[in-house]
Amino acid sequence: MTDRFAPSDNSSPVCDTDKRQYCGGTWRGIINHLDYIQNMGFTAACEPPLGLEEILTSSDLDFARDGANDAVSLPDVNTTDPFVMQTYGSWIRSLTSVFAIDGLRIDTVKHVEKTFWPSFRSAAGIYSMGEVLDGNTTYTCSYQDELDGLLNYPLYFRLIEAFRDTNGTNGNMTSLSHAMTAIQEGCRDSTLLGTFSENHDNPRFLSYTNDMHLNRNVIAFTLLAGGIPIIYQGQEQGFVGGNDPSNREALWTSSYSTETALYRFIGSINQVRNRDMYANPSVLTTPASVIYSDDHHMALRKGLIVSLFSNMGSTALVYNLILTGHGYQENQVVVEILSCKNSTVAIGGDLQVFVPAGLPQVS
């Protein structure tokens, strides 16, 4: 969210999320803090295509700020009309060319006729990800016939259910595993789906629980479960906003700290993921494989990375779990990157994974 990321002058204006008003962030502000994004290991940022403050006069901007209220209805157009489709096509073709855009994130796709999207995507000429806010796998996956990718809402709902309660009463890891399989089988290409656990439309995970070990599992899963991982600004600072608009906090309240545990945690996982990606680019087009699951655990293998997730929470005892199907060789020494602890694959292929207090394990 451009207006909540950073002002051009590095100031820290008051931003009352309940008022749903422009808070002062700009494109220039983002540019001033690109190192904050890059140093977490991210290679792309999703932003609105135009910054109002850069392209409008001050009077226009005042109208845009003050005019966005319930008294002003959004215009509707007939998106089945050939002239409308052609006009939108010309607009998006120009926009992507002028601003050298690498990809599109298209909002509220399901509220426009499906027949509109193929020509729009073709005119854009770049990767296009649509938002279809629905947890039904069959329904959501059907939109991948029209667009390249989608926000993975069918996985999102199962992910939150699996981790939000330490006792797993609202969901479990087995259900999450089944959802992954259904999505891989039901969508045209699950590797082009956006994997996320927070965004501006849904409550932040820490609004459900203050268990930071569960939160780390959710973030690690988001980054390692396949697809295109998306971290929502403020997630790296442990923001706790609930329903919209409370989840649209200004990032400058964090002072852009690069010393927080979550900021460093995300950077560590991205470093391993990026190394695997650059060493073996085909990993990007290969779905993750579930190699183990029960009600409280799931282990994945994607490329050279094996990850283990738990919904036991920080109150869990320290224990060991045996994994097979990991792809390692007998007697191979495996390093867990978050703790730097070593394990050796036993004769027969068993890998004993040390799980301290329900924390995720990545090797």
Q: Among all residues, which ones are annotated catalytic?
A: 107, 131
At 345, the amino acid letter reads V
Cβ neighbours, 10 Å, residue 242? 13
In this structure, what are the phi and psi dihedrals at residue 336, rounded to the nearest 5 degrees?
Answer: -85, 120
Tell me the C-alpha distance between 97 and 101, whole Å: 7
What whole-number distance in Å separates Cα of residue 178 and Cα of residue 357?
A: 25
Can you tell me the distance from the alpha carbon of 176 to that of 155, in angstroms, rounded to the nearest whole number? Answer: 7
Contact 203/156 with Cβ under 8 angstroms? Answer: no
300 φ/ψ angles, rounded to the nearest 5 degrees: -125, 150
d(CA 31, CA 331): 48
- Tell me if the bond preceding 245 is cis, omega within 30° of 0: yes
The total of other beta-carbon atoms located within 10 Å of residue 18's CB is 8
Do 217 and 197 meet the contact criterion of CB atoms below 8 Å apart?
no
